[in-house]
Chains A and B, each alone.
Chain A
């Protein structure tokens, strides 16, 4: 009933108006609104009155009156801005504070510097990657043609395209000014001054140098790639081959025949191309003279196409043309959807998710992952700063109190702390640049093709690290700034600020646990990878590699050499193989179990007695291969091969199959599965074929008391057969070790990351312990006087921290066990031994040791002081 007598104005409008008006004086305005509303309710009804209320409130909200009153209310008697003089004052106070609190300043600077160094590294690489191909003069007109192929299962985008696309585009569309075909896979073995050297490069059209901006240091750009078997070298390739001679006009002897050097370009920097030499596309056409490239709409791997468009052509025109080309291609791929797309040259790198990319695929996901790791290291350092600054409240509260009493506003106090933090971050940035300077070469060493990155200091990098430092400063400074600006000046001057640092608060406990959790995860990571490293060397790959010498043939008469070696008294047995067991196998071969499918397998050519020689286990049949007769080639396979073939229901004779090139094969023996390749590769179907001609290495099992003398003896045998090339021999075990090089890189990265994580967490621990003990000096003195022993004092001081470390260990152990055992090590090695208990225990002990050491360092100082001294100081 009351409501109907005194209907109230709409609450929402009232509240919104009050919110909008903030602190402005609106008493009379609200009064007018209410009075009008009451009048209207009786005259026009409630609903209408409410509507009018809304309208009037809105008209007042945007009126000059309210604006003016708001301005008046916001004005305070104190100047609330931050003038230049004040900022200068903040700097002065900050520097005084830093020099007064040396331990804490250095803890923060070191922590932030270490954390930022990884971020700076990631940024320097990121900045460089985003600049890739920006130097190209025609970058806005050059497009790479990509192919998206979709079938029932999935859709994949390939950076490459069909052989025929090039001619199709250049013949049919006048807006295409030039096309450049680039084919991957030119890898000549160059015989040079008695050594054979391996190089990697591309086949490229003569237009390559017209379209792309790679100025020739010597040679003529117009004709450099017009002739077949002409090659253009990069500067460093030219230097390895010819030192100071002029390379142009020289001839290289290679397995492709004679190659004529027609030009030299500078080393590649910031481009997605990655090659040591280029040869003309005609070279490819001559080698594969039977291939009909201009009508090949089937093969698209390793075959790249770049289009230079006429100026002013828009992308839509190009896309239309590509749609027509896609339609043309689709007729050759009935079960798939083909979609050709164009990528602007500057967008080729970094890629997001593209298959068969040219050169080194600098992709965004791994860059982001790297950045995330950087942030993961940096975050604890930021936590440290926040923690320690707030812990310092007791010391600085009086300062803030006085500032406030003499008229500092909240905003100014906030500004002061943020300026101080930013100043500290910039000091840390200098430190991190110093660290960066040392870790950069180490890190780039581990990255493939790092030489094409330009990580020197450019404008973009300087800007981005400055922004990084500013952001970190703001992040780290915002919480202390908010905390201090809210302090009540009266309380602070009375000394009544609650002493937060004596008992570590909940959030801080959480941060603490997180830091130690992270450190422990990294330490266990180092231990786990270290264990795998030891494991792969003790692992029985399934063949014997002890005392086996590998000798590359280098064009010597293979049969003669093997016979001569066999005659040497220290050599137990001799065989030959195209690839070393235990090392990655590149060769892919197609097997056609029926007319439709192709099964990719890997092949190894072997010599006599290969299986017996390396003690491989046979599951069935016999291990001896003989030279092929006319119709069928005898081969050995592994069990994985038999399983893979079993999927296709082949004809009754399961021991015969056909290779993609039409060779008929007959399986005479089946080997038990073993790791022919390093343990990071799955055991794939393998075919062993008998061919001495295709073998590259002689494998000798030696049994000698004096290995140097044996090798000298073998060298003498080599020289007696061939003087042109020199004898080289390495132990198979050493070659296998080299194949695990990637693990050394992983260990290095993990050690560095864990070293940083540990340092940062221990610095944080140190700071917190230092403050708690400092704040409890008097308590400890009194305890001592009352008869507490040193031991009980240590217990009182450390028990909180020890509990936190134990909690973080309890969280980190199961997490790292699952993370490493089920995810990380599986990715690193397909056949890993997992994380061991000993590794985990050792890591935990290591962390405890370091943690306790830093706690002990601080507490012993306090516990050992004379209690009379600590009580007397007031």
Chain B
């Protein structure tokens, strides 16, 4: 299971965790774009979300109708326990690598 997460996938999972109750498609895009100064397309974001859902790391549900979206509902995402496990395994792997480094990495 170790190393199964891609870089972008990890980023998305962490952002979902960060946004908590407000994790929906456009919100995620804006957050990531701000932090990493990327220019994500909606297609790329939603594709990744769909893949993550297929892998069982996140689940989604529809929220209440919203005014600013013409009465359309938002699809919210949250981490599953498998998603949390995957993230923590990823972190453990990184910590291990950081701890064992022979070169001075801190700036």
Contact = CB atoms under 8 A, between A and B. Distances in A.
Real binding pair: yes
A55 B51 contact: no
Interface string A35-55: 110100000000000000001
A56 B69 contact: no
B68 A63 contact: no
Contacts of B62: 27-28
Given A28-B25, A65-B49, A60 B69 contact: no
A33 B68 CA distance: 11
Interface stretch (B36-44, B90-98, B99-107): B36-44
B70 interface: yes
B29 to A, nearest CB: 8
Main secondary structure of the interface of A (DSSP, over half): helix
A59 B43 contact: yes
Given A28-B74, A38-B68, A56 B25 contact: no
Contact of A65 (B46, B68, B69, B70): B46
A33 B75 CA distance: 13
A55 B39 CA distance: 12
Interface string B35-77: 0000001111011011100000000001000101110111100
Nearest to B40: A59
Interface in A33-87: 33-36, 38, 55-56, 58-66, 68
A777 to B, nearest CB: 58
B68 A59 contact: no
A40 to B, nearest CB: 11
Given A28-B25, A64-B51, A65-B50, A34 B41 contact: no
A35 B50 contact: no
B26 A35 contact: yes
A491 B42 CA distance: 46
A597 to B, nearest CB: 80
B49 A31 contact: no
Given A29-B46, A64-B51, A65-B47, A55 B73 contact: no
Given A56-B41, A56-B43, A31 B50 contact: no
Contacts of B49: 65
Contacts of A35: 26, 68-69
Contacts of B74: 28, 31-32
Contacts of A585: none
Contacts of A561: none
Contact of B41 (A31, A38, A55): A55
B55 to A, nearest CB: 13
A30 interface: yes
Contacts of A32: 24-26, 42, 69, 74
A405 B62 CA distance: 33
A55 B41 CA distance: 8
Interface residues of B, number: 21
A24 to B, nearest CB: 12
A31 B69 contact: yes
Contacts of B75: 27-28
A739 B44 CA distance: 84
B26 A59 contact: no
B47 A34 contact: no
B46 A60 contact: yes
Interface size class of A (residues with CB under 8 A): 20 to 34
A56 B42 contact: yes
A33 B45 CA distance: 13
A89 to B, nearest CB: 37
Contacts of A68: 50
Contacts of B44: 59, 63
Interface string A586-630: 000000000000000000000000000000000000000000000
A28 B43 contact: no
A63 B74 CA distance: 19
A38 B26 CA distance: 12
B45 to A, nearest CB: 9
B50 A28 contact: no
Contacts of A36: 26, 42
A62 B68 CA distance: 26
Contact of B72 (A28, A60, A65): A28
A27 B70 CA distance: 10
A64 B42 CA distance: 11
A653 to B, nearest CB: 97
A564 B34 CA distance: 126
Given A31-B72, A32-B25, A59 B41 contact: yes
A31 B42 contact: no
Q: Give the residue among A28, A56, A59, A61 with the most B Cβ atoms within 10 A.
A: A28
Interface string A8-39: 00000000000000000001111111111010
Contact of A30 (B24, B41, B68, B72): B72
B43 A60 contact: yes
A29 B44 CA distance: 12
B54 to A, nearest CB: 8
Interface in A404-440: none
Contact of B50 (A33, A59, A64): A64
A34 B75 CA distance: 14
Nearest to A56: B42
A65 B43 contact: yes
Contacts of A63: 42-44, 46-47
A31 B70 contact: yes
Contact of A34 (B24, B46, B69): B69
B16 to A, nearest CB: 15
Contacts of B50: 64-65, 68
A543 B98 CA distance: 123
Nearest to B76: A28
A59 to B, nearest CB: 3
B40 to A, nearest CB: 9
Contacts of B41: 55-56, 59
**10 A-B pairs closest in CB distance:** A59-B43, A31-B72, A63-B43, A28-B75, A59-B41, A31-B69, A64-B47, A65-B46, A32-B26, A65-B50
24 contacts: A27-B72, A27-B75, A28-B25, A28-B62, A28-B74, A28-B75, A29-B46, A31-B73, A31-B74, A32-B26, A32-B42, A32-B69, A32-B74, A34-B69, A58-B43, A59-B41, A59-B42, A59-B44, A63-B44, A64-B47, A64-B50, A65-B43, A65-B46, A68-B50
Interface of A: 27-36, 38, 55-56, 58-66, 68
